[in-house]
Structure 1
Amino acid sequence: MQLSETFTNGDRSSAFAQTSLDEVSIYRKVTWRIVPFLMLCYIVAYLDRVNVGFAKLQMLSDLKFSDTVFGLGAGVFFFGYFLFEVPSNVILHKVGARVWIARIMLTWAVISGAFMFVSTPFTFYVMRFFLGLAEAGFFPGIILYLTYWYPAARRSRMVCTFMTAIPLAGVIGGPLSGWIMESFAGVNGLTGWQWMFVIEAIPAIVLGLAVLIYLDDGIRSAKWLTTAEKDLLEQRIEQDAKSKVEHPSLRAMFSDSRVWIMALIYFCCVMGQYGLTFWMPTLIKTAGIKGVLNIGLFTAIPYSAAVVAMLVLGRSSDKYLERRWHLVIPMLLGAVGLVGSALAGTTNTGIAIMFLTIAAAGVLSSAPLFWSLPTSFLSGVAAAAGIAAINSIGNLAGFVSPFLIGAIKDMTQSTDIALYVLAAVLLAGAAVVLTVPARLVNR
């Protein structure tokens, strides 16, 4: 089957182009109710996932780990993530978002805090694997949850807004992690990195309990909406579903070539994303910044730029209903930034930080912009499984990327070649995006 045939999404719906003032206010009400809370949960999730990058600044010397050991341990997270992600999202679709998301958050909080006991490469690998197993389903679950509330024409902006939690986790987590590691080192006989894991696990426990009280499973169960508001929101979701082809079974969904093309594109996005986020503290240090706290403060610069880029591009993508170039351009910018930071090296700290900022703005913007593509043709249980499948396969790059950088750094004593490889992968992913016919995804 040809690609142009498999990407049949129907005509662009004019129902979403013309919205009444009441409808706008209703969606604003929904957004203020659920999106900031979901963002806060994801900030905590992402911080607990990648704070190992900051722990590396002390952990490797304390435990005598090599960069290869660190890269492998950072990446092993995604094996557990891969194995349980699809089942987790299917369970969420059946039992409801509130209970299942709370379960995910409470489980990963306990495991994340237990990282203080890591002492050998084996325990490091095992803990990272189980952290991935525990957190599996959270991100695709939230993407699925947003499809319960927003039609396709509104979804790109919401996903981009939600995913600004990634760079915000860097803006907040960088200085916070640096401060904890520097200020708590030696307190009660524990190292700074041990305190960091314990302290940064506490918010996940609090928010996991809050999910049970605050979050609704969907439109109909939301007591803060009137009956008329619920009817309008459900009507929009039903109209949106009519333009999608419902897969009769999970086997049919997995045999759909679009799912695998989306997974390939997302794999390329994730290669850049985790290569940058796991190694950002090391790259900042390589650029010439000294001291754990200073490194933490400087990581806030690239992440702050990424927040702005994600919000601007998400709004623009929905305004013009254009999806391909809104994904391709950030991927190209990410590649340019990675190459530029490698070329700058330690000779010019300011230029190196500037290129890392360009890389972060491009790489971190590409992931949320990507999700406007698969959610344009997946619905129902196929959306639950399809989103999770794409995310889990794509996130295998989360294993490849940090391990690749660590192995190359050990062999060459430099991260330059690894950054060139990540840039090439982003360019390849952008090329694949351009093979998707514009008329079939711009909606």
Structure 2
Amino acid sequence: MQPAVQSPTESNLEARVSRKLAWRIIPFVMLLYFISFLDRVNVGFAAMTMNKAIGLSPTAFGLGGGLFFIGYFLFEVPSNLILHKVGARIWIARVMITWGIVSVASAFVSGPNSFYLLRFLLGVAEAGFFPGVILYLSLWFPAKQRAVAAAWFMAAAPISTAIGSPLSGAIMQMPPMFGLADWQLLYVIEALPAIALGFVVLKYLTDTPAKAHWLASDEREWLIAKLKSEADAKQAHAGHTAGAWNALRDPRVLALALIYFGTSAGLYTLGLWAPLIIRQYGFSAMQTGLINGIPSVVAVVAMILWAKHSDRTQERTWHVVIPCALACVGFIFAGQAATALFVVLALVVVNVGISAAKAPLWAMPSMFLSGAGAAAGIAMINSIGNLGGFVGPFAIGWLKNVTGGYAAGLYVVGATLAMSAVITLMLSRKAKAEREHGVTARS
């Protein structure tokens, strides 16, 4: 059966809707994630003076940095199910305001225990934000635009590193003010935008296309019909999962969570430890920030181009496998690098691989999940997957204490990305076998 050919009028309508969606939604959610990621990983810059000030060893810092993801893990699914019930506008506003408050409180930690507590509470406060936005994008963007939409949203993470690293480095060189040390100023200054933007979300965000009065009536009707036709087609598929409980038991959800585990281990290893790895070569805080931003600039470009190719070809598996394998090689290279130049080159490779894998990976859940199943499944993938953000940073800190260097920890994180590549291939082969079996059975 040949696919239906669009009329010039429908094609023009689709182009108008796509353009409006892109300009209305993407820049705003990117801004939110920019601030979110900045508040998650600025602890890597604060650590330059905070660790000594409050008595944190490398192991304690790695543990505290990773405890964010334990809080995130425990509250992720409930948070996303609440978002599905009350709408993205109210819930994302709540998330941002509470995480901003916790980030400000982080300026007043006084030792390992209070550091552990505030990192855990930051994870609790932020739970539901990332999967909530991924779910939100699936409610607005048709399937063939979804990887690019997700890529632009997730590009805010490397952009946050590229811009935030020099900014954080500059703040860390400020003299004490208002009785606050440099690392305390860093937490407070970078947390205030989250609180302010939480109130902006209440005014700006639209929950569903049916409420989008910024679309013309014909545009709104076309988008609602398009998304409904895709949902109907998905529900007619034998492998479709709609219920929350069924999604949580779906082995594909667990597989995607394990794949995401490796990419998260890599991403947050970079966020928490890259500044300290670079700093060991004798750079100032400002120089460290500028250098740490270089790999992220390259990663943003690679991420968008790779997602566009994935959407154009509608291929997801190899668009995840290849970048994960590349990031694995980059971590091995970083562990063996003996000069600052080679470390930076290795970090470029790692950043490109991790960033490029994410958008095609997040286009996969919406291929078989919908409704409450999508809310629960996406949250489960993100919550389990983000435990990699605990394992990666903790492994680096613990193994640095044991071995005196970063290499062993970098190899462990590289191994998690190799695992992601292998599981992606296994999931693809299983799906292909099930499709072939289904065709045979129908014959």
The question of a shared fold, defined as TM-score above 0.5 by the shorter chain, is answered with yes
Question: Match of 1:418, as an amino acid?
Answer: G
Deviation at 1:86, TM superposition (A): 0.6
Question: Match of 1:244?
Answer: 234
Counterpart position of 1:277: 271
Q: Does 1:195 align with 2:185?
A: yes
Question: Which residue does 2:12 correspond to in 1?
Answer: 21
Corresponding residue to 1:137 among 119, 128, 133: 128
Tell me which residue corresponds to 1:263. Answer: 257
* 8 Å Cα contact 2:252-2:427 kept in structure 1: no
What residue in structure 2 maps to residue 168 of structure 1? 159
**C-alpha RMSD over aligned residues:** 1.9
Query: How far does residue 429 in structure 1 lie from its aligned partner after superposition?
Result: 1.1
Aligned to 1:407: 398
Identify if the C-alpha distance between structure 1 residues 333 and 303 changes in structure 2 by more than 3 Å, giving closer, same or farther. same
**Which of 80-89 and 136-145 deviates more?**
80-89
2:353 counterpart of 1:374: no
Structure 1 residue 372, shift from structure 2 partner = 1.2
Give the Cα–Cα distance (whole angstroms) in 2 for the partners of residues 167 and 13 of structure 1: 38
Corresponding letter in the other structure for 2:310: S
Report the CA distance between 1:187 and its aligned residue: 2.1
Which residue does 1:224 correspond to in 2?
Answer: 214
Mapped to 2, the partners of 1:133 and 1:14 lie a distance apart of 46
Letter in 2 for 1:285: R
Deviation at 1:438, TM superposition (A): 6.8
Match of 1:316 in 2: 309
Contact 2:254 2:381 in 1 (8 A): yes
Assess, with a 3 A threshold, how the Cα gap between structure 1 residues 318 and 249 changes in structure 2: closer, same or farther.
closer
Which aligned pairs between 1:38-437 and structure 2 lie closer than 5 A? 38-183=29-174, 185-245=175-235, 247=241, 249-286=243-280, 288-345=281-338, 348-437=339-428
CA distance in 2, matches of 1:191, 1:81: 28
Distance 1:367 1:249, change over 3 A: same
Give the TM-score normalised by the residue count of structure 2: 0.93
Which whole-Å CA distance do the structure 1 matches of 2:45 and 2:242 have between them?
Answer: 46
Cα distance change on mapping 1:431 and 1:20 into 2, 3 Å: same
- Equivalent pairs, count: 427
Q: Give the secondary-structure state (helix, strand or coil) at the position aligned to 1:188.
A: coil
CA contact (8 A) 1:324 1:438 kept: no
Q: Alpha-carbon deviation of 1:189? A: 2.8
Match for 2:46: what amino acid? A
Distance in 2 between residues matched to 1:439 and 1:241, nearest whole Å:
23
- Which letter maps to 1:353? V
Q: Which amino acid aligns with 1:201?
A: A
Does the CA contact (< 8 Å) of 2:320 and 2:357 recur in 1?
A: yes
Q: Distance in 2 between matches of 1:89 and 1:206?
A: 22
Q: Secondary structure at the match of 1:149?
A: coil
Q: Is the 8 A contact 1:111 1:131 kept in 2?
A: yes
Letter of the 1:150 counterpart: F
Tell me the distance in 1 between the aligned counterparts of 2:136 and 2:33. 13
* Matched-pair contact (CA < 8 Å) for 1:177–1:296: yes
How far apart are residue 254 of structure 1 and its match?
2.0
Cα distance, 1:297 vs structure 2: 0.8
Query: 1:15: how far off?
Result: 7.5
C-alpha distance in 2 between matches for 1:24 and 1:238: 18
Alpha-carbon displacement from aligned partner over 1:189-248 (angstroms, at most 9, x marks no partner): 321000000000111111111101111011011111112111110111112112324536
Q: Distance in 1 between matches of 2:230 and 2:340?
A: 49
Contact 2:261 2:416 in 1 (8 A): no
- Percent identity of paired positions between Structure 1 and Structure 2: 45
Is the Cα contact below 8 Å between 2:244 and 2:374 reproduced in 1?
Answer: no
CA distance in 2, matches of 1:418, 1:167: 22
State the alpha-carbon separation in 2 of the partners of residues 92 and 166 from structure 1: 22
Q: Distance in 2 between matches of 1:17 and 1:389?
A: 40
CA distance in 2, matches of 1:12, 1:119: 66
SS at match of 1:434: helix
> Deviations for 1:124-179, whole angstroms, at most 9, x for unmatched residues?
01101111000000000000000110122210010011100000110111001010
The answer (yes or no) to whether the contact 2:171–2:185 under 8 Å persists in 1 is yes
Residue 188 of structure 1 and its aligned partner are, at CA, apart by 3.0
Partner of 1:244, secondary structure, is: helix
Q: Is 1:33 matched up with 2:24?
A: yes
Provide Cα deviations, 1:4-46, integer angstroms capped at 9, x if missing partner: xxxxxxx997679997122112111111001100000000001
- Superposition deviation, residue 54 in structure 1: 0.8
Equivalent-residue separation in structure 2 for 1:70 and 1:371 (angstroms): 30
CA distance in 1, matches of 2:429, 2:223: 28
Distance 2:194 2:132 in 1: 16
**Which residue of 2 is the match for residue 6 of structure 1?**
none
> Does the 8 Å CA contact 2:317/2:424 hold for their aligned counterparts?
yes
State the partner residue of 2:436: none
Select between 57-66 and 192-201 the one with higher mean Cα deviation.
57-66
Question: Match of 1:305, as an amino acid?
Answer: V
Paired residues of 1:47 and 1:170 also in contact (CA < 8 A): yes
2:112, 2:303 → 1: CA distance?
36
